[in-house]
Structure 1
Amino acid sequence: MKNKISLIHGDGGKATNNLINNLFLKYFNNTVLNELNDSALLNINNKKIAYTTDSFVISPIFFNGGDIGKLSICGTVNDLAVSGAKPMYLSSSFIIEEGFSIENLEIIVKSMAETCKKANVQIVAGDTKVVPKGGADGIFINTSGIGFIYDNVNIKASNAEIGDIIIVNGTLGDHGIEIMCERNNLKFYGNLSSDCAPLNFLVGEMLDICPYIHVIRDATRGGLAAVLNEIAEASNISIELEENFIPIKEEVNDACEILGVDPLYLANEGKLCCFVPEKYAYAVLCKMKQHPLGINASIIGKVVAEDSAKVYMNTFIGGKKIIDMPSGYALPRIC
């Protein structure tokens, strides 16, 4: 398998990064792409624009808390929002397997329309392709989006600075554990549900109170662990987390313990982390807590000076634990 693509190349961890750096950047090399932000940050006729694209192949296509349609809109809206942009317009492309239910397709399209309305964006272009039976797994969706970057905002993965306070807007691992249980027909107590949600209005309120936020990222594939390692490498800083402060639902934590997975490595679809200068951190945290998608926001760590870029966590028992970039797939086709 050394010279072939495997599922591990799609998990958002080390194999994904190696594929991007050693193959795609080798041929697509340019200054915009090389920054590897969630969106391309463009300056066109003195207008600052964010542009992004994403594909969605999740299995199952319907799950507690959402479906592939809702997910496709939230994923693209969120990539624009965490880049410091106001999402405006999306395109949507469907690859549909022959024999797919038109009734299910209508449910998905209706879900997309409802999510667009909630996020205040419009789908203004699209495409549909149908492949023979067995040529796809039901339905795949690609969405692209553009938005205008807010004035006086400069958000990049490479902008983290020593002293920055790291905040997440809520509990981690909700989406990943829900999909894992749904796919394997596992039942646990409590209400396991995906956190799939558009974050653009939350981000807008955060930037209203503090346009000086250095980094915002949504923790999707590879979870918080992957995102923090990417930021540490891009900014050449180290990150110190506090395990006591990381918000995780009790039922999610219990399910993770039973299944032997770490919630820090599980995908989220409605969670972000931000790096805020210390003097603005409390104001940003308070503003986040006033929003429905930030009620459980928490300060989880800070940027510290170290000899090499790394992420580590001060544990419950007083030790230190290295949080490395994911190196294997906990769950393929998570988004």
Structure 2
Amino acid sequence: MTINPHQNPFFQKIEQVRRRPAKVRDTHINLAHGSGGKAMRDLIDNVFVTSFDNPILSQLEDQASFDLASFSQYGNRLAFTTDSYVVDPLFFPGSDIGELAVNGTINDLAVSGAKPLYLTCSVILEEGLPVATLRRVVASMQAAAQKAGVQIVTGDTKVVHRGCADKLFINTTGIGVIPSGIDISPRHIQVGDVVIINGEIGNHGTAILVARGELALETDIESDCQPLHDLVASILNVCPNIHAMRDATRGGLATVLNEFAQTANLGIRLNESTIPVREEVQGTCEILGLDPLYLANEGKLVIVAPKEKADMILATMQTHPAGEKAAIIGEIIPTPPGIVLLKTTFGAERIVDMLVGDQLPRIC
């Protein structure tokens, strides 16, 4: 006798159970959430899939697949990047690890001139992490992705024993498309080019430092975490031949400019009086013996562009919310090659070297 599973009450009951909306009854992450079984599937469905819901992710395959023809409408080259986020604390003034992961990856694509399209989200969870904390981070990621017009389309979840991680780590990978005719690289830097930044430096590093509560400091400084691709698109609209562009994250402004100088084998002279720094950031640095040139940022990009285009670029940036305090801060010089100089407010010059060590660990 052949049993028709569609008519058998037992099998019908199993099917009903399977079709119920996934629920996470545990209040804290445990090892079962990374085991590959039902607990893990419920966590993924109820926390991640529900929040990131989109047609590509809803297929629930081991990979996200795309129609290649859909990319060609944006350009002829693919941009691909990946980054990991281990910031401490998870939540800090102005942002959190979730928004940071999305915006940070978007910005890595944006500084190549690419239009960001898709992100992945992989998380490493420590046993004991409150599920409510994870939900809050995931909701923040989705809000940031929606604001930036990108989709989170695939990912991974791992759980480690208590004490083997610090609450939550995130890895994100991003894919975008670079428009035809755009080729941004420090190899193109020329003598006479100008250096432009889109606003105040050091806000993110200072916000993290204060949020850790290790020092008796009080300030209203918030992280500058923000997506920059829309600002970049506005810049490229008026000057497609930007010579170099990079976001100044770990290592700050000084590290980016040293990388530019070494790649181009040219010198850079900065003017300290024109570099935007909040008074509170400068004061915090003076108290703690830090240098704002090395503090991390999460919403600042550094541009090297032809001098004749500088005023037009600056005017365009200053009309955008992410570039209201943009400023020309330096110029490219022939010598000394590979060296960044800073003309101080006292009229002297000093070398701004690459960051040695780490002023502030786990900043992003």
TM-score when normalising by structure 2: 0.78
Q: Does residue 160 of structure 1 match 2:184?
A: no
Question: In structure 2, which of residues 81, 98, 104 is the aligned counterpart of residue 69 of structure 1?
Answer: 98
Q: Does 1:177 align with 2:206?
A: yes
- Alignment partner of 2:281: what SS? helix
After superposing the two structures, state which structure 1 stretch, 96-105 or 301-310, moved more: 301-310
- C-alpha contact (below 8 Å) 2:342/2:352 kept by paired residues: yes
CA deviation after TM superposition for structure 1 residue 268, in Å: 0.2
Residue type of the alignment partner of 1:184 = G
Cα offsets for 1:297-323 (capped at 9, x unmatched)? 000001011142100011111100100
Gaps of 5+ in 2: 1-70
Q: Tell me which residue corresponds to 1:245.
A: 274
Amino acid paired to 2:201 = L
Q: d(CA) in 1 for partners of 2:108 and 2:161?
A: 32
Q: Which runs of 5+ in 1 are unaligned?
A: 1-43
Alignment of 1:245-264 (within 5 A): 245-264=274-293
Q: 1:211 to 1:261 in 2, by over 3 A?
A: same
What residue in structure 2 maps to residue 197 of structure 1?
A: 226
What displacement does 1:186 show? 3.4
**How big is the shift at 1:183?**
1.3
Greater relative CO (CA pairs within 8 A, separation 6+): 1
Mapped contact 1:232–1:309 kept (Cα < 8 A) = yes
Deviations 1:62-110 (A, max 9, x none): 0001100000001100000001100000111000001101000000000
Secondary structure of 1:55 counterpart:
strand
Identity, in percent, stands at 50
In the TM superposition, what is the alpha-carbon distance from 1:190 to its structure 2 partner? Answer: 4.3
Q: What does residue 287 of structure 1 align with?
A: 316
Counterpart secondary structure, 2:169: strand
Q: Does residue 1:48 correspond to 2:77, yes or no?
A: yes
Q: Which of 204, 211, 218 in structure 1 is aligned with 2:240?
A: 211
State the distance in 2 between where 1:192 and 1:289 align: 21
Q: TM-score, normalised by structure 1?
A: 0.85
Deviates more, 1:150-159 or 1:315-324: 150-159
Aligned positions, number:
292
- Amino acid in the other structure paired with 2:275: I
Structure 1 contact 202–293 (Cα < 8 Å) conserved: yes
**Structure 2: distance between partners of 1:334 and 1:245:** 26
User: Which is higher, the Rg of structure 1 or of structure 2?
Assistant: 2
Deviation at 1:151, TM superposition (A): 2.2
Q: Quick one: distance in 2 between partners of 1:321 and 1:290?
A: 33
- SS of 2:234's equivalent in the other structure is helix
* 2:151 counterpart residue number: 122
Q: Give the equivalent residue in structure 1 for 2:119.
A: 90
RMSD between aligned residues: 1.4
Q: Structure 1 stretch 143-152 or stretch 180-189: which is displaced more?
A: 180-189
Q: How big is the shift at 1:181?
A: 1.6
Q: Distance in 2 between matches of 1:269 and 1:298?
A: 17
Aligned to 1:90, what secondary structure does the other structure show? Answer: strand
SS, match of residue 259 in structure 2: helix
Cα distance in 1 between the residues matched to 2:287 and 2:330:
27
Residues 179, 194 of structure 1: 8 Å contact kept: yes
The 8 Å contact of residues 76 and 179 in structure 2, kept in 1 or not, is answered as: no
